[in-house]
Structure 1
Amino acid sequence: MIWLFIKQHLIWISFFIGLLVIWNLICMLDVGFAAVSIGYLNSVVILLFVLFLIARYFWERPNLKNILLHNSLHDVEIYRWDAYTRKVIELYREQSQQQMQVVQKIKFEKNEEQDELLAWVHEIKAPLTAMKLMIEQLEDYRARNQLEQEWLRLHLLVDRQLHQTRLQTLAEDNRLERVRLRTIVFKEIREFQTWCLEKGIGFQIDELEEVVLTDAKWLGFIIRQVLSNAIKYSPHDSEINVIVTRDTQEHILLKIKDVGPGIRPEDLPRIFKKSYTGTIGRETNIATGMGLYLAKRAATSLGIQLYVDSIYGQGTTVVLKFPMQNEYVQTFGM
């Protein structure tokens, strides 16, 4: 408590000592004070000042007790807050570690599930290939045609599941190269040959000599989904037009147009949503709502704009707008 008092009055004490030093210097330099006892004067002044400090000490003692009590409580409070803060930080770290472990566990389980699904898809491809060879050896044309159609449906479902699983890692599973549109489009049309013959659907195709920079495998998947929908909803003995144009900015536009029932205006903004089948899909029960959804996701990942123009009752046109090469550079950092 005494030290606290001294610290609070340190300025007074310093002022007094300085004043005393100056007084002694004056007495030593001024001959008028030669007969005065400097030691006596110093002793009297120091004694008076000490008595003054003692009196002030007892006068301020209650306040000093309150200050010491407040400081001790404050120190305790700071200690408590520090302990609380440390506890909060420890709990936060434990929670972060637990969350990280849960995320890693979910990611590991998801990767395992994805690997198992991919393995199943690859396993089922073998019997599908064998079935295809057995169907081609049938002599009964009608039976062979019906079996080929059912095989095609099964093949498309397995293929869609395979690409849906791989779509999550499309950024790691793509190879950009120069692709001739004619090659991809004709390859996909041949896949649907049996189905088209059964419905009497023909194709009116442009020369398709344009070359685009994209991933051939994923572009084939996108065109496959679009052609599947076009054939599915086209009436018997009709045509599907495949043409290529350019817009005002010289983007290549691949258009696939059918003369089916078209899409209702209220359904058009939602056709790319997952599992959305639309009015016609609900009425016919032939739509899954996944084809255009997966095609849109794949197209977006490749920088391709996929959109649909349709007039209800007059048909539907699906457009693939390919980016320019400099836009690919900006998107993929080539």
Structure 2
Amino acid sequence: MTFLRYVTDKKYFLLVYALMMAFVSLIMLTGTGTNAASSNLLYVNAGCLVLAAGYIVTGYIYRKSYYEELRILSERHAQEDWYITALPEPQTNEQALYLKLLTQVYTEQAQGIAQLQEERKDHQDYILSWIHDVKVPIAGSRLIMENGAGKPAEVLIDKLEDELGKIDSYVEQALYYSRIDAFSQDYFITEVDLPAIAKDSVKKVAKLFIHKRIRPNLEEVTHSVSSDSKWLAYIVNQVVANALTYTGSGGTITFRSEESDAEKSLLIQDTGIGIPPEELGRVFDKGFTGSAGRTHHKSTGLGLYLAKQMALKLGHDLSITSAPGEGTTVTLHFPKVRRYNDLRG
């Protein structure tokens, strides 16, 4: 900062000084004789001018180094953490407050950038994983067509439908994954019939139930809940798909609804392979497949994660209990007291 700029910044001080001296001069002229007043007026103005100039010059010398360091930093394109730490030490309380504010803004910005970078990386990883997964049924469809010579059309159509069903599942997952951050713009709370949701979920994958000879039990579902039918259906579909994946041939998947003073709940219980106790706390983590997922080579680690996130955004919750070899029970909780205006987007 130049001396002229520094003096310009002191314009209000100089204005007050000029008004003060004008007032003092006026009092001296009207209060004493003309000759004495002229001499006193000259001495007073000269002395005060010297003091004011000394104050301005001393202040400039004291703060010159501070402003020079700021100027140098402002001309550099610093993007590293040292940018804030390189700022000069504040010389006044005002400067200390500005430095504190700047540090807070910088820290929040750095955290926001880090979060965006992490989300971008997660998105890229998901896209790569999704492309790899969706290529499998596409390749399977091509093999079916290439090796379909001499086979009945009904058999080929049935197999192609299975592969198309897998592709449709992956596309639906990608669609909901991309829309979960904009949830607040895409939900409509109504009274939803749980038996209808359960029946539609079973109907959607009826072929898989038949193929694996797994029996669905829907007799104990009787309640209705306040929710968004589309998002709730997807949550239930994900839980059912997960249960089908890890339930062996001849097993059972039972749907049951319950009600207490605090909540209603939908329980989906399978007779599958179960989950080890040490993995139960991580089944809703993003990308977690567990030992069962690695063994079956069918898990992307996103189904239960998306179901949990959607449930929380709807004001519901998901919990899970399981034991190896005894099956798994996933419970969808519907608290009776909640404010839908506060649903998270």
TM-score normalised according to structure 1 size: 0.62
2:58 pairs with one of 74, 87, 106: 74
**Aligned-pair identity (%):** 27
Q: Which of 188, 192, 216 lines up with 2:201 in the alignment?
A: 188
| Counterpart-to-counterpart distance in 2, 1:186 and 1:78 | 80
| 2:325 paired with 1:321 | no
Q: Distance in 2 between matches of 1:158 and 1:322?
A: 28
Q: How far is the alpha carbon of 1:187 from its aligned partner?
A: 0.8
Change (3 A) 1:161 1:332: closer
Q: Distance in 1 between matches of 2:267 and 2:339?
A: 21
1:263 CA displacement: 0.9
CA distance in 2 between counterparts of 1:329 and 1:174 reads: 10
- AA matched with 1:160: Q
Q: How does 1:85-234 map to 2 (within 5 A)?
A: 142-234=155-247
Residue number in structure 2 paired with 1:262: 274
In the alignment, is the contact (CA less than 8 A) between 2:221 and 2:256 conserved in 1?
A: yes
Displacement of 1:197 after TM fit? Answer: 0.7
Instruction: Give the 3-state SS of the residue equivalent to 2:325 in structure 1.
Output: coil
Cα displacement string for residues 2-43 of structure 1 (whole angstroms, at most 9, x for unaligned residues): xxxxx9xx9xxx9xxx9x9xxxxxxxxxxxxxxxxxxxxxx9
1:180-232 per-position Cα deviation (integer Å, ceiling 9, x unaligned): 11111111110111111110001112342311111000000000000000001
Secondary structure at the counterpart of residue 266 of structure 1: helix
1:74, 1:151 → 2: CA distance? 81
Q: Note if contact 1:148-1:194 (Cα within 8 Å) is conserved in structure 2.
A: no
2: CA distance between counterparts of 1:178 and 1:72? 74
Runs of at least 4 residues off by over 6 Å: 63-66, 81-88
- The CA deviation at 1:170 is 1.2
Number of the residue aligned with 1:279: 291
Q: Could you tell me how far 1:162 is from its partner in structure 2? A: 1.1
Cα distance between partner residues in 1 of 2:222 and 2:300: 33
Superposition deviation, residue 286 in structure 1: 1.2
- Deviation at 1:64? 8.9
Gaps of 5+ in 2: 1-20, 80-104, 128-133, 142-150
Distance 1:227 1:82, change over 3 A: same
Contact 2:253 2:270 in 1 (8 A): yes
Change (3 A) 1:299 1:72: closer
Structure 2 letter corresponding to 1:167: I
Structure 1 157/65 Cα, relative in aligned 2: closer, same or farther at 3 Å?
A: closer
> For residues 139 and 84 of structure 1, do their structure 2 counterparts lie closer, same or farther at Cα, with a shift above 3 Å needed?
same
Unaligned runs of 5+ in 1: 1-6, 21-42, 44-48, 118-123, 132-137
Change (3 A) 1:173 1:327: same
The answer to whether structure 1 residue 331 and structure 2 residue 333 are counterparts is no
Cα drift, residue 248 of structure 1: 4.5
Could you tell me whether the CA contact under 8 Å between 2:223 and 2:258 is conserved in 1?
no
Residue aligned with 2:293, SS: helix
Which letter maps to 1:256? I
- 1:23-38 aligned at under 5 Å gives the runs none
Q: Which amino acid aligns with 1:73?
A: V
Whole-Å separation in 2 of the counterparts to 1:72 and 1:180: 79
Change in CA separation of 1:147 and 1:79 when aligned onto 2, cut-off 3 Å: same
Deviation at 1:330, TM superposition (A): 6.0
* Mapped contact 2:184–2:343 kept (Cα < 8 A): no
Match of 2:314 among 302, 305, 321: 302
Cα offset for 1:289?
0.1
What TM-score does the superposition give when structure 2 sets the normalisation length?
A: 0.60
What do you get for the CA RMSD once the two structures are aligned? 4.8
For 1:258-289, what per-residue CA distance to the aligned partner results, in whole angstroms no more than 9, with x for missing partners?
11111111111111111110111112211110
Question: Once the 2 structures are TM-superposed, how far is the Cα of residue 146 of structure 1 from its aligned partner?
Answer: 2.9
Cα distance in 2, alignment partners of residues 164 and 68 from structure 1? 68
**Letter paired with 2:297:** N
